Structure 1
Amino acid sequence: MSKLPFDPIDEAQRQWVAHGWEDAAPGMAAVTSIVRAHQILMARVEESLRPHDLTFSRYELLQLLAFTRTGALPLSRIGARLQVHPASVTNAVDRCEQRGLVKRVPHATDRRTTLAEITDPGRELVSKATESLNREVFTALGLDEEAIGELTGVLKHFRQAHGDFS
């Protein structure tokens, strides 16, 4: 995709004002900017994870399990921690299980609960994928540390204001 010689979001905001929607124009520009930034970041994340044959959701599952003390969590807790629908957790676990990256195991004390447990190959893969993401995405945002802190703070305030966490 070729670069435009102007910022299309600035132009959209100008058009919003010209059409009498000046009260909504800043919000439209903010939402559109966030959506576009999401597209850019996800494209970079997907490109970084492609050599590891991982999607971001499967990467998040593996990393979450790798961070736990035992390497295992109930499927319901995975969904809550990753803030995704139970069907998405089931799909990610199924795909990772097919590749031998996780396995389902019964809970030791609650027969109704199934755990997803990361395997050694899963730990190895998520470690390599994290190295790629750190190098190619997380430390290469094109913003200095102060700007990253400000952006994270603004987005945290937005998320909290919309009930993402208390």
Structure 2
Amino acid sequence: MARGNGIVDSAIHPPIRPAIFWSTAVVSPPKPLPTDPIAEAHRQWTAHGWGGVADGMAAVTSLMRAQQILLARVDEILRPLDLTFARYELLMLLLFSRRGSLPLSRIGSLLQVHPTSVTSAVDRLEARGQVRRQPHPTDRRAILAEITDDGRATALAATEKLNESVFADPGLPENGVRELVDLLTDLRSRAGDF
């Protein structure tokens, strides 16, 4: 029961644990449940006096769960190629660049990740011969990551499989894909993502 201070008496109502996902965890493919736990969480939110934000809670939790589901599908494709989605994105960024190379700082900015994450991904890709570090031709302080022929082949093989198995059918009705992209673009814009 909700108390006046908004705290739920956990002896009467155990805490609700929405399906929140931490992006670094390895996720197994989803197993169907007999009921929708997010719909139940929505019902509980409303019953406990938080009905005004229940839709927001359900939207955020649904996005987190959808990310979990899609990451499992993507990981299934990339794992045999010894790639994570972060390393795949880095390879594709280099593949799309005019010269096949970018400064590490620019990679972090474009992928919106911390410099240590870029360093770690480049280290892994370099160890596999898919990327090599090169000195910047005009800035002695900067290092370039350059895609190799093996990196290019791996990126293209991964893209072919992802296009076929995930991107062609992300699990939404055809008319819902563009609508979802527009909604998420608006969310990202409002959050200052770009």
Do these two structures clear the TM 0.5 threshold for a shared fold by scoring above it? yes
Q: What residue in structure 2 maps to residue 35 of structure 1?
A: 64
CA–CA distance in 2 between the matches of 1:33 and 1:108? 47
Deviation (angstroms), 1:145: 2.9
Aligned to 1:115: 144
Q: Are positions 1:12 and 2:41 aligned together? A: yes
Per the alignment, in what secondary structure is the counterpart of residue 62 of structure 1? helix
Equivalent position of 2:104 in the other structure: 75
The number of aligned residues is: 165
Point out the structure with the larger helix share.
Answer: 1
- Displacement of 1:142 in angstroms is 2.3
Task: Tell me the equivalent position of 1:87.
Answer: 116
Match of 1:163 in 2: 192
- What SS does the corresponding residue of 1:24 show, helix, strand or coil? helix
1: CA distance, partners of 2:68 / 2:173: 21
> Hey, what does 1:154 align to over in structure 2?
183
- Correspondent of 1:104 among 128, 133, 139: 133
Which one has more relative contact order, counting CA pairs under 8 Å at least 6 apart? 1
Structure 1 residue 148 displacement after superposition: 0.3
Which AA in structure 1 matches 2:42?
Q
Cα deviation, residue 92, structure 1: 0.3
Identity %: 62
In the aligned structure 2, how far is the partner of 1:38 from the partner of 1:2? 15
TM-score (norm 2): 0.83
**Unmatched 5+ residue regions in structure 2?**
1-29
The answer for the alignment partner of 2:23 in structure 1 is: none
Q: CA RMSD in A?
A: 0.9
Q: 1:44 aligns with which of 73, 77, 97?
A: 73
Partner of 2:5 in structure 1? none
Letter in 1 for 2:88: Y
Instruction: Report the Cα offset of residue 8 of structure 1.
Output: 1.1
Which amino acid in 2 is paired with 1:31?
A: V
Question: 1: CA distance between counterparts of 2:56 and 2:130?
Answer: 42
Moved over 4 A (4+): none
**Rg comparison, structure with higher value:** 2
Whole-Å separation in 2 of the counterparts to 1:145 and 1:11:
28
